[in-house]
Amino acid sequence: MAATPQPRLYFRLHQSGLVEYEVNPGYREGAGDANFVLLKKKIKVRAEDVAEVIRLCEQQDFQGARNEYPAFQIWTDSSLQTTIVFTHNGREKKIVVNNYSETDQRNSSYYPASLIALLKKIEELRKSMLEYN
Answer yes or no: is 3 within a domain. no
Q: What is the pLDDT of residue 4?
A: 63
> 55-87 burial, b if ≥16 CB within 10 A, otherwise e?
ebbebeebeebeeebeeeeeeeeeeeeeebebe
How confident is the model over 11-58, as pLDDT tens digits? 999 999 999 999 988 888 988 888 888 999 999 999 999 999 999 999
Query: What average pLDDT is seen over the chain?
Result: 91
Tell me the C-alpha to C-alpha distance, in Å, between residue 17 and each of 11, 42, 71: 12, 10, 31
Answer yes or no: is 5 within a domain. no
Answer yes or no: is 120 within a domain. yes
Phi, psi of 112 (to 5 degrees): -60, 145
Answer yes or no: is 30 within a domain. yes
Q: For the whole model, what pTM was predicted? A: 0.88
Number of structural domains found in the chain: 1
Domain encompassing residue 113? 12-132
HSE at residue 90, side-chain half, CA atoms within 13 A, is 0
